[in-house]
Amino acid sequence: MLSPDVVRIRYDIGQDWSGQWAIFFRIVLSDEAARRRLRQVTTNVVWRLAERLDFQGMGVFPYHNFRSASEQAALREEAWA
Protein backbone atom coordinates (compact mmCIF):
# COMPACT_ATOMS: atom_id res chain seq x y z
CA MET A 1 0.00 0.00 0.00
CA LEU A 2 2.86 2.39 0.75
CA SER A 3 5.30 1.26 -1.92
CA PRO A 4 7.22 2.36 -3.87
CA ASP A 5 7.79 5.26 -1.45
CA VAL A 6 8.35 3.02 1.58
CA VAL A 7 11.09 0.41 1.29
CA ARG A 8 10.46 -1.22 4.68
CA ILE A 9 9.10 -0.67 8.16
CA ARG A 10 10.60 -2.14 11.31
CA TYR A 11 9.50 -1.59 14.89
CA ASP A 12 10.25 -2.28 18.54
CA ILE A 13 7.99 -1.98 21.55
CA GLY A 14 9.48 -0.69 24.78
CA GLN A 15 9.45 2.16 27.22
CA ASP A 16 10.19 5.70 26.09
CA TRP A 17 12.26 8.29 27.95
CA SER A 18 9.39 8.91 30.41
CA GLY A 19 8.83 5.23 31.21
CA GLN A 20 5.63 4.98 29.18
CA TRP A 21 5.09 2.11 26.74
CA ALA A 22 5.76 3.05 23.14
CA ILE A 23 6.16 1.62 19.68
CA PHE A 24 9.22 2.86 17.82
CA PHE A 25 8.93 2.68 14.04
CA ARG A 26 12.01 2.73 11.79
CA ILE A 27 10.84 3.55 8.29
CA VAL A 28 13.14 3.45 5.27
CA LEU A 29 11.97 5.58 2.36
CA SER A 30 13.02 5.39 -1.25
CA ASP A 31 15.55 8.03 -2.18
CA GLU A 32 13.05 9.56 -4.60
CA ALA A 33 10.39 9.94 -1.90
CA ALA A 34 12.88 11.32 0.64
CA ARG A 35 14.28 13.80 -1.86
CA ARG A 36 11.12 15.08 -3.56
CA ARG A 37 8.06 14.38 -1.41
CA LEU A 38 9.30 13.95 2.15
CA ARG A 39 6.51 15.80 3.96
CA GLN A 40 3.74 14.21 1.89
CA VAL A 41 5.14 10.68 2.24
CA THR A 42 5.89 10.86 5.96
CA THR A 43 2.45 12.29 6.71
CA ASN A 44 0.84 9.51 4.66
CA VAL A 45 2.84 6.82 6.49
CA VAL A 46 1.91 8.19 9.93
CA TRP A 47 -1.78 8.35 8.99
CA ARG A 48 -1.84 4.86 7.41
CA LEU A 49 -0.22 3.28 10.44
CA ALA A 50 -2.70 5.05 12.75
CA GLU A 51 -5.61 3.79 10.60
CA ARG A 52 -4.43 0.19 10.81
CA LEU A 53 -3.16 0.01 14.39
CA ASP A 54 -5.04 0.89 17.56
CA PHE A 55 -2.21 2.51 19.48
CA GLN A 56 -4.43 3.55 22.36
CA GLY A 57 -5.91 0.04 22.63
CA MET A 58 -2.40 -1.40 22.55
CA GLY A 59 -1.38 0.98 25.33
CA VAL A 60 1.52 2.47 23.38
CA PHE A 61 2.50 5.86 22.01
CA PRO A 62 3.89 5.82 18.45
CA TYR A 63 7.26 7.27 17.52
CA HIS A 64 8.17 7.47 13.82
CA ASN A 65 11.75 7.67 12.60
CA PHE A 66 12.51 8.01 8.90
CA ARG A 67 15.60 7.71 6.75
CA SER A 68 16.31 7.27 3.07
CA ALA A 69 17.54 4.04 1.51
CA SER A 70 20.87 5.66 0.62
CA GLU A 71 21.29 6.95 4.18
CA GLN A 72 20.68 3.43 5.51
CA ALA A 73 23.13 2.00 2.97
CA ALA A 74 25.80 4.40 4.26
CA LEU A 75 25.05 3.84 7.95
CA ARG A 76 24.35 0.09 7.71
CA GLU A 77 22.53 -0.08 11.02
CA GLU A 78 21.33 -3.62 11.57
CA ALA A 79 18.15 -2.54 13.39
CA TRP A 80 17.07 -0.72 10.22
CA ALA A 81 17.89 -3.59 7.83
> Is 66 in contact with 34 (CB distance < 8 Å)?
yes
Cα separation, 71 vs 35, whole angstroms: 12
User: Does residue 43 surpass a pLDDT of 90?
Assistant: yes
Given a cut of 90, whether residue 9 has pLDDT beyond it is: yes
Per DSSP, the three-state class of 58 is: helix
- pTM recorded for the entire structure: 0.93
Question: What pLDDT, on the 0 to 100 scale, is given for residue 41?
Answer: 97
Output the CA torsion sign for 21, 28, 10, 58: positive
In this prediction, residues 59-68 reach a mean pLDDT of: 98
